[in-house]
Amino acid sequence: MKQTISALAMAAMLALPGVAGADTLRMGFASAPRTIDPYPFGGAPTASLKEHVFEALVASDDSPLLASGWEWTSPTTLDVTLRDGITFHNGEPLTARDVVYSACRMMHLIDGKRNLLTSSMGPIADVVAVDDHTVRFEMKAPYPLWVQKMKFLSILSASGAELPDGPIQYDSEGDCGVTAYPTIAEFESGEAAIGTGPYKLARFDKSGEADLVRNDSYWGEAPEWDEVEIRTIGNAGARLAGLLAGDFDLIENPTTEDLPGLTASDELTYTAVPSWRSIFLVLDVDPEGAGGVSAPDGSAPLADPRVRQAMSMAINRQAIADRLFGGEATVANQFSPKYRTGAPELPELEYNPEKAKELLAEAGYGDGFTIDFYAPSDRYANGARVAQAVTQYLSRIGITVNLKTQPWSVFAGQRSAGELGVFLYGWGHPQGPAQMISFAFASRDKDLGLGASNYSNYQSDAFDAAMQAWAVETDEAKANAHIADAMKVVVEDLPGIPLYYQHTIWAHRADLEVNGRPDERTSATTVSRK
């Protein structure tokens, strides 16, 4: 199939058809948005669509968006000031009442199911409209992470619900005196899809199609395009063929094999951006043993830090980035990218297979041991090939590796059940550089929101102390210092092994400029004419 597409590419690049509409941007998504309702689901495709229509108080890079700023007036009180002069698509002005209503809608269960931020808003005791342009978030305990969480609270117009007159009284069940909330169907029909964003929804279809039109009253920089068409094609070859045929102006995620042809073209090109997604191995370090990991003496090899260090030293990260990704991946030396704001910059992780063998022998595993190594086959770019490369590297130092690639649906179930002793995983960092380590390696603490995904069964007093201090620190510089302390501990202990940071790639017409986003979102607001 690759050869067919490459041949098609060379032919099509010589004579691309004309653009269908100069003021229409046509984008090909790799996965379908699940809904236009901004609250039930996360995921890049859904977020990419909804952010055209709806906006939050905070932007993806943690800068003010609908908010002009915020201030911690106490360790448990955050006052947020709204920008002046912002209107919704229906002409209604944005006020603090709309923010309180939106918080209520986020907490309201739809068909008995939680929304995207339901659990994250658990620490919030009250949301109060102080005046038209000031909203106060009152916490049950210090919860500085709420500033980063606010980027997921899309703001809706309160005019779209049946509300009593007067102030809205927030409650954690989302009842709030609201007689009826808009349904998902009403969002998807367009009736309730009323935001403040640069585009208005014209049509949505669950097949992965959506049409948008420019919001001429947008408060920010004027949108580039009159209309935006989003279509979804899951197969990378078919997606590229659509670009070559002129059906799309931009597509997501071309394969690395397609990049040389795009580079050679005068009509097409690609844009690659280092993303916030870390790809790494998770190791179950439980001293009682790990699923699928066995040693001749019945011990638990992964519980020994020397074994974990040896596994890390066995892997040639630069070769993976260069050979499997054509340079379109960044070698990882820690669990969040150093280019993520607030992240530390730790030294390079050593590649030294001979030293790795010495460490294994020192730990008592000179004759090796056996692991079942699990990797999702359909989740990460080149994920199966990366898993094969890691398998080879570990085998070269004497570890017997049984590679098991699985569809994500199967893999995710076994991961959640704690059945996997060694597996390949990926984690983005939209909530900041501590997001992954706070979930993946901290001891479980529901009050502070730590350790919910600690599949490694890792525990470190020093790491936990740093994370617990970070979780309640409202001073940004001090919080970042705690992150650095925690990152140093966990990179030294290696309950997981950082591999690389994934790059997000878009193929597009050569006459377009794409200012790609590190959070892997595809947005018409990042695309302009040269």
Structure tokens at 437: 């380590």
Q: What pLDDT does residue 112 have? A: 83
Are 240 and 16 in contact by the 8 Å Cβ rule? The answer is no
pLDDT category of residue 429 using cuts at 50, 70 and 90: confident
Q: What is the pLDDT of residues 34-57, one digit of tens each?
A: 999 999 988 889 999 999 999 999
pLDDT category of residue 11 using cuts at 50, 70 and 90: very low
Q: What pLDDT does residue 163 have? A: 84
What single DSSP character describes residue 350?
A: P
Rounded Cα distance between 231 and 245, Å, is: 15
Are 204 and 190 in contact by the 8 Å Cβ rule? The answer is yes
Mean pLDDT of 357-374: 97
Structure tokens at 232: 């979804």
Contacts of 524 (CB under 8 A, 6+ apart): 25, 27, 52, 198, 199, 212, 223, 224, 225, 228
Q: What pLDDT does residue 474 have? A: 87
User: Is the per-residue pLDDT at 8 higher than 50?
Assistant: no
Are 280 and 490 in contact by the 8 Å Cβ rule? The answer is no
Mean pLDDT of 353-380: 95
Domains, the chain, in order of start with CATH, read 41-183 (3.90.76.10), 276-503 (3.10.105.10)
Rounded Cα distance between 425 and 256, Å, is: 20
What does pLDDT average to over the chain? 92
Mean pLDDT of 457-477: 95
Q: What pLDDT does residue 269 have? A: 97
Q: What pLDDT does residue 22 have? A: 60
Q: What pLDDT does residue 20 have? A: 44
DSSP secondary structure, 288-334, as one string: T--TTEE-TTS--GGGSHHHHHHHHHT--HHHIIIIITTT-EEE-SS
In the chain, the percentage of residues whose pLDDT exceeds 70 is: 96
Q: What pLDDT does residue 281 have? A: 98
Mean pLDDT of 238-255: 96
Helix extents (H) in 184-258: 184-188, 236-244
Helix extents (H) in 452-502: 461-471, 476-493
